[in-house]
Amino acid sequence: MDADSRLMDAKSRARLEELKNPHVNKIIEHYTRLCRPAKVTILDDSKNSIDYARALALKNGEEKQLKTKGHTIHFDSYHDQGRDLVNTRVLLPKGLKLSKAVEVKERNEGLKEVFGLMEGIMEGKEMLVKFYCLGPENSKFSIAALQLTDSAYVVHSEDILYRQGHQEFKRLNGSKNFFHFVHSAGRIENGVCIDIDKRRVYIDLEEERVMTINNQYAGNSVGLKKLALRLAISKAHGEDWLCEHMFIMGVHPKGKDRVTYFTGAFPSACGKTSTAMIPGQTIVGDDIAYIRPAEDGIAKAVNVEQGIFGIIEDVNPIDDALIYKSLTTPREMIFSNVLTDGGIPYWLGMGKELPKKGINYSGEWHLGKKDGKDKEILPAHKNARYTIRISELENADENTENPEGVPVRGFIYGGRDSDTSVPVLQSLSWAHGVFIGAAIESETTAAAIGAVGVRKHNPMSNIEFLTVPLSVYIENHIRFGDDLDKPPLIFATNYFLKENGKFLNEKVDKKVWLMWMEGRVHGEFDAVETPIGFIPGYEDLKKLFREIFSKDYKKEDYVRQFSIKIKNLMEKLDRIEAIFRQEENIPDMFYHHLVQQRERLKEALEKHGKEVMSPLEFG
C-alpha cells in the first residue's frame, strides 16, 4: 500500500489496517493508481466520519443548506436526471447471454474502455473510501459493500440510505466476500458534470464490482442502490434466494391485533413508495428486498436499505400525509432537482402555488425559461427526489433492523396501465402469480431517461436490473414458491385505470385494495373467480370503503373499475407472448399459464359475446 499510504493521513491508515483485509487494500491501491486522486480519505462508522462527508458535500458545493434545519439541496446536470439506461452495461465474457431487454457489453472490451476513461479522472480531487452493509448488520441476509468515490454527496446519500459497514468488514476476517463500487463525477463546471458523452455505468459480475463515471444523479452514482441490486440478483440466483425490486411493509387492519407483511414490486413512479407509506401501516423498506426461505417453510425478507430515495412529484398533504409531514419538518434530508426560492424547496404537485422564479436543476430559473431545444423547463424535475432515513418516519416498522427478517405473506405486483388491468386481483396459484409478475406491462414515466407514456414490458418490475437470463429468473421464482410450505399469496394492482381521460379511482383507494389483500391472506374475504384471477366481490369492497373512508362505494363504480376487458387482455397476451418467444429456454410452466389464461378469456367471450364483461357476470 505504499502508493496509497502517502496520500492518506494517520487516521485513514489506521482505519484501513483495522480491517486486516488484503482484498480491500488491493482494490484501493488499484483505483488510486488508475484515478490518481490528490488525497485518499478512509472513513469508518464513527460520527466524525459521517460528519466529515456531510460537511465536505457543503464545502464542495455539491449540496447547499436550506432554511429548515438538516435539509440540503443537491442539483444534478440538466442531462443527468434519471437512470442512464443507454450507457449502463452488464459486462459479460464472450458466449454468455442475458435477456434481450438487458444491455450488455463484452467484458474485456468494456473493461479496457472504462479503465481508459478512468485514467486520471480524480486528479486534484479527494477519493473517499467508505464501508457499508446491505441489509441489517450481522445478518445471514446481508452483504458487505465497499464504496470509492470523489463525490461527498454520494457518501452523504449512502450514509442516509445504508447501514454503516466498517464493523461488518471486520467480521469478514479478511474474506473477499463483498461488493465494491467505484464512482467519479469526472470534470465539473458550475457544480455539474460536463463530459456527458463519456458517461458510463459498467457492471462486472465476475468481480462483483461496478464502475460508474461522469455522472451525479444518485440512480447512476450511488453504487449501493440499483447498481448493487444487479450484483445481488446474480448472487441470489446462484444461491437459491431472491433479490427483488420490492418494498416491504406491515399491514395493520383496523380493530385486529395483528400485522401482515407484504412485499411489492412496482416500476418507478407507479405507486410503490406511496403504497409502502399508506397511513396506518408500517414501512420496513420502499425499494429493494432480499428474500430467503426460512426453516419453518415460509419466506422472510429484509430491507437492503435503511433509507428512502423517493420520487417527490405529487407528494402533498392530502394524498401522502406521512411523507409530506416528514419533508416539511426538521431532520437530516437531501432534496434533489426541486426548485428552491429563499432556502425553501418546491416541487410539482405539492398542493401549493410555486414561485415564478428561483434556482433549479437548470440554474437560475424563471417561468417560461426554455432549454437549447426550445423546450420549456419545468420549475422542478418530474423525477426530483428526496433522501431520508426510514427511522425518521413516524410509521417505521419495529422490525426494520431485525436480522432475522419479517415473514412475508403476500407479494404485490403493480404497474401503470390506463386501459386494461383491474385495480386489484389475486392469482389463481403461486405459478400463475409468477406468470402475472413476469407479464407486467407499464406505461413509462420520467424516472428513466427516454420517452414518457410508452407501454413497456417489465417482468417483476425488474427487467433493467436483471443479470441472469430471464428464463433462469422465472424458473427460480417458480421453484422458490414451490419449495415453501406456505408460499406468499400473489396479487396485482393498477392504480391508473382511466375512462375518457379521467382516473377511475382516487389515489387513496389503494388502502382499500390493500386491506382486501390482507383479509384474503387470512381467509376473511370471498373472491370472484375470473379468467385473469380472483377479484374482490362488491359487498366486501362496499364494507371496506365504509369502514376506512366512511364512503359509499357505488355498484356502478365497481362495475366500471372491475370489468374484465377481454379484447384488451387478449391483445396484451399476444404482446407478452411475442416478447417471450424471443427469449431462450423460458419454462414450459410460463407458457402453460399464458395458454390457459387465453383459453379462459376465449371461453368467456364465446359464452357471453361481450368484449367487456361486468364483474357481476362472474358471481
**Non-local CB neighbours of 78 within 8 Å, separated by 6+ positions:** 192, 361, 362, 371
Torsion of CA 25, 26, 30, 35, to 10 degrees: -20
Q: Which residues of 458-485 are buried (b: 16+ CB within 10 A; e: fewer)?
A: bbbbbbbbbbbbbbbbbbbbbebbeebe
Backbone Cα Rg of the chain? 24
The three cell numbers of residue 89 are 452495461
Residue where the block lists cell 371461453: 603
Q: Are 146 and 180 in contact (CB under 8 A)?
A: yes
H or E segment and range at residue 73:
strand 71-74
- DSSP secondary structure of 115-137: HHHHTTTTTTSEEEEEEEEESST
Q: Distance from CA of residue 165 to its chain's centroid?
A: 21
Q: Is 35 a catalytic residue?
A: no
Short-list 276, 267, 269, 256, CA closest to 514: 276
Backbone angles phi, psi at 319, to 5 degrees: -85, -25
Neighbours of 593 (CB within 10 A): 21
Catalytic one of 35, 133, 193, 270: 270
Number of Cβ within 10 Å of residue 568's Cβ equals: 15
For residues 316 and 294, what is the distance between their CA atoms, to the nearest angstrom? 39
Per DSSP, the residues of 156-189 read HHHHHHSEE-HHHHHHTTT---EEEEEEE--SEE
Element (H, E) at 213: strand 209-213
Pull the grid cell for residue 311.
Answer: 420520487
Q: DSSP letters along 439-478, please?
A: T-EEE--TTBSS-SS-EEE-GGG-GGG--S-HHHHHHHHH
Any idea which residue has 451525479 for its cell? 216
Position 334, amino acid: I
CA separation for the pair 525, 508 (Å, rounded): 21
Nearest one of 176, 121, 113 to 143, comparing CA atoms: 176
In the 8-state DSSP scheme, what is residue 484? -
- Is residue 292 helix, strand or coil? strand
Mind telling me the catalytic residues? Answer: 270
